[in-house]
């Protein structure tokens, strides 16, 4: 087997497996929700908080990560690739918007007598994991594509070629199974 064939086969396998970046990213986001997101200190007092401890709208971010994870496998099983893309796009954009809004909103607010030098704050690995998990979900979605046979089936249906050839179309529309 030539080196070019091996490289092509390796790239094909990598592309097939890259589809699972979407549920892997959602899984990372689910786990990261319970890890420390921020560390805030004021004087001698230091507090770390996770998404679960912060609560509020961040529970919606957790729910979206779970929904993306479950929706991927449900829609993958019934071969509804467009619905996977919609679930990921809508969910990830919502989650990222909430996270960024709350991050910038935390630094605004009411003026107080506390000096900026008295306060300390740092993002922790939970927030970074949540952000990277959602970005991985979006990037995994880019590898989900319709197989060539599905595109041909649409052309046949549009121009009427499928009826004249008496072909069964149910097996040609399925994405390839990943081992």
The yes-or-no verdict on residue 75 having pLDDT over 60 is: yes
Average pLDDT value over all residues in the chain: 78
Asked if residue 91 and residue 118 are part of one domain, the reply reads yes
Per-residue three-class SS string for 83-151: HHHHHHHHHHHHHHHHHHHHHHHHCCCCCCCCCHHHEEEEECHHHHHHHHHHHHHHHHHCCCCCCHHHH
The yes-or-no verdict on residue 154 having pLDDT over 50 is: yes
Asked if residue 137 and residue 172 are part of one domain, the reply reads no
Q: What angle do CA 8, 9, 14 make, to 5 degrees?
A: 95
Between these two residues, 121 and 91, which has the higher pLDDT value?
91
Write out pLDDT tens, residues 32-69: 999 998 888 877 888 888 888 888 888 999 999 999 99
Domain of residue 47, residue span: 3-145
Asked if residue 167 and residue 113 are part of one domain, the reply reads no
Task: Give the mean pLDDT of 75-85.
Answer: 85
Asked if residue 81 and residue 11 are part of one domain, the reply reads yes
DSSP assignment letter at 178: P
Q: Is 82 exposed, middle or buried (0-12, 13-18, 19+ CB in 10 A)?
A: exposed
In DSSP terms, which residues pair with 50 in a beta bridge? 36
Asked if residue 116 and residue 39 are part of one domain, the reply reads yes
Task: Give the mean pLDDT of 19-32.
Answer: 91
Asked if residue 99 and residue 45 are part of one domain, the reply reads yes
Task: Give the mean pLDDT of 116-140.
Answer: 84
Between these two residues, 107 and 86, which has the higher pLDDT value?
86
Asked if residue 103 and residue 61 are part of one domain, the reply reads yes
Between these two residues, 83 and 119, which has the higher pLDDT value?
83
The β-bridge relationship of strands 119-123 and 45-50 is unpaired
Asked if residue 113 and residue 40 are part of one domain, the reply reads yes
Asked if residue 174 and residue 99 are part of one domain, the reply reads no
CATH number at residue 39: 1.20.140
Q: How many domains does the chain have?
A: 2
Query: Cα(152)–Cα(81) distance, rounded to whole angstroms?
Result: 16
Asked if residue 179 and residue 134 are part of one domain, the reply reads no
Asked if residue 176 and residue 120 are part of one domain, the reply reads no
Q: Does this model's pTM top 0.85? A: no
The pLDDT value recorded for residue 131 is 92
Asked if residue 12 and residue 61 are part of one domain, the reply reads yes
CA atoms within 13 A on the CB side of 170: 1
């Amino acid at each position: 087997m030539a080196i070019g064939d091996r490289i092509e086969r390796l790239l094909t396998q990598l592309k097939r497996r890259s589809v699972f970046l979407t549920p892997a990213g959602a899984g990372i986001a689910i786990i990261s929700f319970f890890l420390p997101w921020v560390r805030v200190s004021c004087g001698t007092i230091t507090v770390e908080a996770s998404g679960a401890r912060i609560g509020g709208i961040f529970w919606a971010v957790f729910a979206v990560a779970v929904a993306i994870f479950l929706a991927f496998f449900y829609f993958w099983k019934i071969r509804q690739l467009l619905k996977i893309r919609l679930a990921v796009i809508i969910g990830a954009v919502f989650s990222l918007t909430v996270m960024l809004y709350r991050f910038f909103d935390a630094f605004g607010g009411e003026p107080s007598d506390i000096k900026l030098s008295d306060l300390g704050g740092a993002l922790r690995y939970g927030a970074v994991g949540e952000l990277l998990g959602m970005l991985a979900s979006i990037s995994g979605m880019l590898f989900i594509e319709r197989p060539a046979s599905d595109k041909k089936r649409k052309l046949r249906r549009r121009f009427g070629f499928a009826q004249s050839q008496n072909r069964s179309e149910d097996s040609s529309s399925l994405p390839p199974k990943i081992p």
